Structure formats: structure tokens, C-alpha cells
Copies of this chain bind each other. A is one copy, B any other.
Amino acid sequence: MQKIVIDAMGADLGSKIVVEAIKDFLKDYKDVQIIVSGKKEELKDLEGLVKIIDARDVMQMEDGALEVMRKKETSMIKAIEVAKKGEADAVVSAGSTGAFLTAATIHLKLIEGVKRAALVSPFPTRDGSSVVLLDIGANSENNAEQLLQFAKMGNIYTKNFKNIKEPRMYLLSNGTEKEKGSPVIKEAHKLIKEAKFKGFKGNIEAREVLSGCADVVVTGGFEGNIFLKGTEGTAKMISGLLKDAFKKNIFTKLGYLLAKSGINDMSAKMDYKNYGGALLLGVNKVVVKAHGSSDSRAFYNAIRVAYESNKKSLIEKMREELK
């Protein structure tokens, strides 16, 4: 039976969405034991279902490396410590991304041979499938050797999660030709090519990432973060304009009512909440960062990501293949 420890605090919508997600999850999955850290008075509904660790302090959004070392009484650090002691296989939190990634890396340590951890998440694609990008923001600068490791980790992740033998892998650049890119990207291209991944297809432009042609896209954390948030911002803007469009007059409003089922299908395809959390690859435990604005369904899916990673022995496979 696998064990997952969950930080119940730090989500924008409060601990109640976490409590709800855990209750739902335990209804659907029987072979899992859950440990929860947080203010115990907010976790009453979970009594008898999970092990509760009372934590009086909460990591704040703006907290960085310094607070990670100081704030030992936070639900986040207490959750990570459970995993550190070997009492859980995975940690899930919706709290401050910077603090969570820093704390997880410090306490759980990088897998032997790994230079930098990377945050990986699937994005929906035009063809109804998905593509994973890494790093989407664990680092603010990466060198070519680190990008090569991201390629390796992304490859292992995709082989296991998508059940593909040879994931179609690309390197994000400003042009498709191999001589395109910053000096770091050009060097990374060379290293990834030399590593002879069977599915490596070369460079990809940001325009094609969501087209469905790729299974894995490798990028540095800074650019990956810009891609991630750029797509979020564009989607938000278009959905706002679409709302305006339907509100224009009585005909457009009626049009919306008629087209609603199609629009809902579309929204479902785009909805990041179906994808759950982003995985931090390269550390010695399964570490899942749920979106700060998660609702209970999104947080449920973040727990599911942790659960499936354990099921697929992702950490063991990383350790073996990255040696």
C-alpha cells in the first residue's frame, strides 16, 4: 500500500478544497494511505480517514529560500519531513511554488547524478492528446548539460505515463533549423543529438508545441515559464473576448445557448484542472505541485498524479536510467 503525504494549507481557496479532494480520492482509490499536515481544526472531516499532523504555521506565497530554512512549523515543511523520514512515497502541496520546490530539493535531495530538478506538466494539444514540457519553472537559468538531463527525465516520464516506446522529443528554440537558438540551446541541441534518443526530432518553435506533433518538449526553466504563462494569458484573454462576443445582443446570447454543449466540450479539453499538478522530476520522492488556484477537482487530480507516479515506480526508473 502506497503512502502519500499532503500539505492541506496554502491553496488560494483554502483547506476545504483539499479536504474535499482527499475524501473523493479515498472513495475511488483503496490501495493508498494518506497523511495530512495542517491546522487540525480545519481537518476535522478527515478524522478516521487519514493520519493528521497538526501544523500551526503556513508557508506564505512570497516565502523564499530563507523562510524554507526557518519556518519548520509550517504544514509544508512538516509534510516534506514525513517523506524525508521515509514514511511517505509522495508529497503534494498547493502552497508557494518557490518555497515548495526549494524545500523539496533541500530535504529530499536530488537523485544521484542529477544536477537540477525540473518541473514537468502536460499541456492539452489540438488533436485531443497532450504534450509535456520541462522545465516550466523550477529554474531561472539552465546550461546545456542540464537541458540534456531534462531530455532524459522527460523521456523516462513520457515513456511511462503515455506508454510510448519512443517519445517524439523536441528542443524549444526560435527556429526549427539546428543552428537556430541561443548559444546554450545550440549546445544543448548537440548534446541531445549525441545522446541518440530515438525519438529526437530537433528544434521546435513555440507556435507548434500545442499542435500535437510532439510528446516531450525540452526547455530551460525561464523560457518554459514564459511559454506556460504566455499560453495561460492568451487562453484567458480569448475566453474573455468569447464571453463578450456571446453577450453582444439577444441573437448572440441565443447562439450561445444553442452552441453551449460544443463550447463545454472545448472548455473541458483546455481545462488544466483535468491535468492536476506539475511533477518535480529529479528528486528522491514523488513531488507534486498543485496549482495555487486549484479547486477540489484540480487537487484530486494532483493527488492522482502522485498516485500514478508511485504505481509506475517513476523514482526507481529515474534512479536506474540516470545513473
User: Which of A's residues lie within 8 Å of B, judged by CB?
Assistant: 62, 64, 98, 125-126, 137, 140-141, 172, 174-175, 177, 179-183, 185, 205-211, 221-223, 225-238, 240-242, 244-249, 251-252, 254-263, 265-266, 269-270
In the assembled complex, which residues on chain B have CB atoms less than 8 Å from the CB atom of A125?
Answer: 237
The answer to whether B259 touches A233 (Cβ under 8 A) is no
The smallest C-beta distance from A260 to any residue of chain B, in angstroms, reads 7
In the assembled complex, which residues on chain B have CB atoms less than 8 Å from the CB atom of A240?
Answer: 126
Q: Is the interface of A mostly helix, strand, loop or mixed?
A: helix
A200 vs B117: C-alpha distance in the bound complex, in angstroms?
A: 33
The answer to whether A246 touches B259 (Cβ under 8 A) is yes
Shortest 7 CB-CB contacts between residues of A and residues of B: A255-B259, A255-B258, A245-B262, A206-B229, A248-B262, A207-B229, A206-B230
In the assembled complex, which residues on chain B have CB atoms less than 8 Å from the CB atom of A211?
Answer: 233, 237
A228 vs B231: C-alpha distance in the bound complex, in angstroms?
A: 10
The answer to whether A207 touches B230 (Cβ under 8 A) is yes
With beta carbons under 8 angstroms apart, the residue of B206, B221, B230 that contacts A209 is B230
The smallest C-beta distance from A278 to any residue of chain B, in angstroms, reads 14
A228 vs B248: C-alpha distance in the bound complex, in angstroms?
A: 29
A181 to B, closest residue via Cβ: B140
In the assembled complex, which residues on chain B have CB atoms less than 8 Å from the CB atom of A252?
Answer: 258-259, 261-262
The smallest C-beta distance from A205 to any residue of chain B, in angstroms, reads 5
Contacts A140-B182, A182-B140; is A230 near B241 (CB within 8 Å)? no
The answer to whether A266 touches B241 (Cβ under 8 A) is yes
Contacts A140-B182, A240-B126, A257-B255; is A172 near B266 (CB within 8 Å)? no
The smallest C-beta distance from A12 to any residue of chain B, in angstroms, reads 15
A12 vs B298: C-alpha distance in the bound complex, in angstroms?
A: 43
A235 to B, closest residue via Cβ: B234
In the assembled complex, which residues on chain B have CB atoms less than 8 Å from the CB atom of A233?
Answer: 206-211, 231
The answer to whether B234 touches A230 (Cβ under 8 A) is yes
Contacts A244-B266, A256-B255; is A206 near B226 (CB within 8 Å)? yes
Contacts A174-B140, A177-B62, A206-B225; is A258 near B261 (CB within 8 Å)? no
The answer to whether B238 touches A140 (Cβ under 8 A) is no
Among A125, A241, A247, the most chain B Cβ lie within 10 Å of the Cβ of A241
A211 vs B232: C-alpha distance in the bound complex, in angstroms?
A: 11
In the assembled complex, which residues on chain B have CB atoms less than 8 Å from the CB atom of A246?
Answer: 259, 262
Contacts A126-B241, A230-B226; is A174 near B221 (CB within 8 Å)? yes
16 pairs from A and B in contact (CB 8 Å cutoff) = A64-B179, A126-B236, A174-B221, A174-B225, A174-B229, A205-B229, A206-B233, A207-B232, A210-B233, A230-B231, A234-B234, A244-B265, A248-B261, A255-B256, A255-B258, A255-B262
